[in-house]
Structure 1
């Protein structure tokens, strides 16, 4: 016998798929829904979490639960290319960047191969599809390689990456590690996804010809909207991997 949360989720899912509740529309309050289905608030929230995990509903802090518009899929193109997740040619996403200066600490010291407290610059690139967050990229560079004037809040992430490339020495190696995991609490809040929604996490480290790490990027792509594609030259003996 199906649990109450799945019965509720099935009913709401049917209303969404048939258009009775339209994309962008706010669901009734959690208290109202709990009363309608004669369940406790925790059970109702558990049912909503099922729909959030499927990408059908998003919870906006302080505003309520909304039916998501169909989410566009993007493709992360690996193999030494620009560390930007928004590489699908048919997806129009609005991207902004926020800049923070910070000392190297924790695992950033190992990631960038620098000593503790070394000056770094963090660029937080957040893409939006309409009003909804779509994907997240955190890019770290040594402070002396960051643009001197610093990009503004409205700078497009692609423009930032072009400027970083102009400041970098030639790259000798790019390593990319891809894994599937659940989002951290901060990532879930930033991307407005359920903590049960798996994400594709990409860690990319670029090294110059002197062996110095000049850039490290951490990309977080929700699993309901992202694929990864890696292409390598078979003539050189490399493998070709597509995901």
Structure 2
């Protein structure tokens, strides 16, 4: 059976779109495709990789979303100068596994690993957090802090907030030593909740503690991404990710399946 034209493999391996994008990305980073050079035509790429034109277009669109190539209407895509695109692209996705549970790309392993054990504690919403979530100031939360690192040595800090009232209403959560985002999503699904997810992003200077955690100078800007999962307007889980903003960008790619 021919796979030409498919964009996702059925056995969980890298998709055809990803394979084409990975090959072009490697050529760009190695200099084989130099800045300002024109990419091969869609037809040529389709023949070389034995894929459809649709797959090629999706691969080029992916590189464009990462800032690696640029397209001009009526012309072929060309490579942007290295100074025009960030050195660090951080993908942010929520996937759905085979059991229908949400899986967060940053908190479920993969590229990132803990460099120290997560800390768990109880806290209450200060004024900024209460305003962001639409809850009364002083609302009680379970919280956890994680410092994660990838193979390149880049660090991110992830803080999760789980309202105490939610933890007590979802069987088993409040009795755990550490409550992960995946555990919360799974418990919410088991309880019949349909979650609405929204991300909010802003940049600010890091506090001294943030600079130490991320391994960056205090003068560098920091990107803060807050993902809020709600059910019928009620906050279920809040995840705040902090990372260096130097030469970095976030890449959002919605996925409907694992």
TM-score bucket of the superposed structures, by smaller chain: 0.5 to 0.7
1:182: which partner in 2? 205
1:151: which partner in 2? 177
2:8: which partner in 1? none
Check the 8 A contact 1:206/1:215 in 2, yes or no.
yes
Are positions 1:212 and 2:222 aligned together?
no
Q: Which runs of 5+ in 2 are unaligned?
A: 1-86, 96-101, 168-172
Are positions 1:76 and 2:91 aligned together?
yes
RMSD: 3.2
SS at match of 1:85: coil
1:85: which partner in 2? 106
Equivalent residue for 2:123, pick from 102, 116, 134: 102
Matches within 5 A, 1:187-198: 187-198=210-221
1:221: which partner in 2? 243
Check the 8 A contact 2:221/2:244 in 1, yes or no.
yes
Shift of 1:98: 1.0
Shift of 1:174: 1.4
Give TM-score, length-normalised by structure 1: 0.52
Shift of 1:104: 2.0
Matches within 5 A, 1:1-243: 75-78=90-93, 82-83=103-104, 85=106, 89=110, 91=111, 93-94=113-114, 96-128=117-149, 134-146=155-167, 147-152=173-178, 160-168=180-188, 170-208=193-231, 210-224=232-246, 227-232=249-254
Check the 8 A contact 2:94/2:103 in 1, yes or no.
no
Shift of 1:78: 4.2
Check the 8 A contact 1:124/1:138 in 2, yes or no.
yes
Give TM-score, length-normalised by structure 2: 0.49
Shift of 1:148: 1.5
Partners of 1:141 and 1:199 lie apart in 2 by 24
1:15: which partner in 2? none
Shift of 1:134: 1.4
SS at match of 2:211: helix
Runs of 4+ with >4 A deviation: 78-84, 86-89
SS at match of 1:171: coil
Give the aligned length: 153
Shift of 1:224: 4.8
Check the 8 A contact 1:97/1:151 in 2, yes or no.
no
Shift of 1:182: 2.3
Partners of 2:121 and 2:108 lie apart in 1 by 25
